[in-house]
Amino acid sequence: MGTVALRVADAAKTFHRDGASRAAFTNIDLEVREGEILALLGPSGCGKSTLLRAIAGIEPVSRGTITLHTDPVARGRTGIVFQDPLLLPWLTISENVALGLGYAANRRVGATETVEAILRDFGIDDLADAYPASLSGGQAQRVSLARTIVTHPRVLLLDEPFAALDPRTRAHLRDWVVDVVRRRHLTAVIVTHDIEEALVVGDRIALMSCQPGTITRIWSRGEGNATEVLAAYQSELPAPTWVI
Ligand SMILES: Nc1ncnc2c1ncn2[C@@H]1O[C@H](COP(=O)(O)OP(=O)(O)OP(=O)(O)O)[C@@H](O)[C@H]1O
Ligand SMILES: [Mg+2]
């Protein structure tokens, strides 16, 4: 793995609503190296999405710093993919992906790959003229990733991108995303609730806890086995309540 691509130092985010303050996450220190895939695992509400949005620059942090260590031209280049593909239903697949090019142009990022080339690379060129309503969940998520990748992000942020898919499509898409990240020499942070997914995709796994939302453990590949990660994760989950 190369140099540090992303550094989060002493970061905290507090939301203020109706006169009350609530910390989404606090004391986050994290480094992700070039080419690495970091899986961010944690229970609901511990601040995973907020942290990802902060890394993407969508949400300002209340304290600390987030730095992308890329060359000056590429500075600030992150791309984010959400659980919902968020495709515009009145545009074709080509036009939806071309929207990414528009964002890139606005951010003065030199996009060198055409929409046709990326659709071909992603194996979805036959869908170019289709509309989102005719796509399966897995196809829609590929299009969503294509729309992000066409902007040439150096750090790819994925917020539970497979959560809405059936298990078979999910496993298939997961392997495909890892392949895209490796082939394109990207760095990625992927949020998941799924331990198997974290173990399969992550070069490292960072476990977040709630209250406060912070990172409590980091395992490198091969360091933590499934049982250990599962036990640590389960200890972070709220006790189940049964309604009979
Ligand atoms: N815009 C906002 N305004 C106020 N509070 C917010 C806002 N966004 C998130 N929060 C709060 O911050 C906390 C962390 O939310 P976040 O969505 O980051 O959690 P998460 O770990 O991604 O959860 P999940 O696994 O359910 O997606 C929650 O308590 C949430 O209610
Ligand atoms: Mg979330």
For residue 152, the domain's CATH number is 3.40.50.300
Distance 131 CA to ligand 1 centre (A): 32
- Please determine, for residue 11, whether its predicted confidence score (pLDDT) is greater than 70: yes
Residue 244 covered by a domain: no
Per-residue pLDDT band for 110 (boundaries 50, 70, 90) equals low
Q: Which ligand is nearest to the CA of 213?
A: 1
Q: Take atom 18 of ligand 1 and give the residue whose Cα is closest.
A: 47
The full 3-state SS of the chain, as one line of letters, equals CCCEEEEEEEEEEEEEECCEEEEEEEEEEEEEECCCEEEEECCCCCCHHHHHHHHCCCCCCCEEEEEECCCHHHCCCEEEECCCCCCCCCCCHHHHHHHHHHHHHHCCCCCCCCHHHHHHHCCCHHHCCCCHHHCCHHHHHHHHHHHHHCCCCCEEEEECCCCCCCHHHHHHHHHHHHHHHHHCCCEEEEEECCHHHHHHHCCEEEEEECCCCEEEEEEECCCCCHHHHHHHHHHHCCCCCCCC
Which of 36-45, 66-75, 185-194 has the least mean pLDDT?
A: 66-75
Q: With pLDDT > 90 as the criterion, what percentage of the chain qualifies? A: 57
Q: Answer whether residue 74 shows pLDDT above 50.
A: no
pLDDT classification of 139: cutoffs 50, 70, 90: very high
Which residues share a beta bridge with 205?
39, 219
Asked if the structure places residue 241 within a domain, the reply is no
Q: How far is the CA of 92 from the centre of ligand 2 (A)?
A: 28
> Is 155 inside a domain boundary?
yes
219-237 exposure pattern, b = at least 16 Cβ within 10 A, e = fewer: beeeebeeeebeebbeebe
Lowest-pLDDT choice from 34-38, 84-88, 225-229: 225-229
Per-residue pLDDT tens digits for 171-200: 988 999 999 999 999 999 999 988 889 999
pLDDT at 88 over 90: yes
**Best residue among 28, 48, 158 to mutate for probing ligand 1, ranked by most atoms within 8 Å of CB:** 48
Ligand at shortest distance from the CA of 58: 1
> φ and ψ at 214, to 5 degrees?
-155, 170
Residue 24 lies in a domain: yes
- Give residue 93's domain range: 4-236
Residues framing ligand 1 (Cβ under 6 A) = 15, 17, 22, 24, 42, 44-50
Q: Higher pLDDT residue, 78 or 211?
A: 78
Tally of domains within the chain = 1
Q: Which atom of ligand 1 is nearest to the CA of 210?
A: 21
